[in-house]
Amino acid sequence: MALLIGEKSVVSMHYKLMDEAGKVLDSSEGGEPLAYLHGAGNIVSGLEKALVGKSAGDSLTVKVAPAEGYGEVDPNGIKVIERAAFEGVDVVEAGMAFEAKAPDGTAQHIVVTKVEGDEVTIDLNHPLAGVTLNFDIQIVNVREATQEELDHGHTHEGGHAH
């Protein structure tokens, strides 16, 4: 009997992610399937919930609302800061994206949305916040996770570095 997706499963799948207009935002097409450890928060919760009980060979289409994807747009994530904060950057323009260190030490994605004189408006929200996600999924493989994978909270397929 085929192994069903559940806690402690390593799942390999091909996917295509589209917005509501059908624009492809990301895809594994032409590459290796995405492998993740089910139940470890490695993928958005709405997609993870939809995959429970599925098995290798299954194909499905999943619509994930923002609340179970990358969240709603948080107005507190939009801030106006001084141009001087971009030390070492000669030109700051709308549309530019930066990785910065958040106060807790994690990487934080920042997008410049507007520049007016010495004031720069930035958006700290995830680029897909507020977006309904539409996935086309083909499940390639499902297997039990190793103890090491469970301890680390991610799959070790395809190699990894800590």
- Higher-confidence residue: 105 or 158? 105
Residue-level pLDDT at 159: 53
Q: What 3-state DSSP class applies to 87?
A: coil
How far is residue 110 from each of residues 127, 128, 136, 143, measured CA to CA in Å?
Answer: 9, 13, 28, 37
Angle (CA) 110-112-115 rounded to 5° is 150
Residue-level pLDDT at 158: 63
d(Cα 31, Cα 80) in Å, to the nearest integer? 39
Tell me the pLDDT tens digit for each residue of 17-62: 999 999 999 999 999 999 999 999 999 999 999 999 999 999 999 9
Burial of 121 per CB tally in 10 Å (0-12, 13-18, 19+) = middle
Tell me the pLDDT tens digit for each residue of 131-154: 999 999 999 999 999 999 999 999
Domains observed in the chain: 9-70+128-152 (3.10.50.40), 75-123 (2.40.10.330)
Tell me the pLDDT tens digit for each residue of 107-122: 888 999 999 999 999 9
Query: Quick count: other Cβ atoms within 10 Å of Cβ 13?
Result: 25
> Looking at the predicted structure, is the pLDDT value of residue 95 above 60?
yes
d(Cα 35, Cα 158) in Å, to the nearest integer? 8
Average pLDDT, the chain: 92
Is the separation of the CB atoms in 51 and 4 below 8 Å? no
Angle (CA) 20-18-5 rounded to 5° is 115
**Where do we find the tokens 């091909």?**
14
Residue-level pLDDT at 109: 87
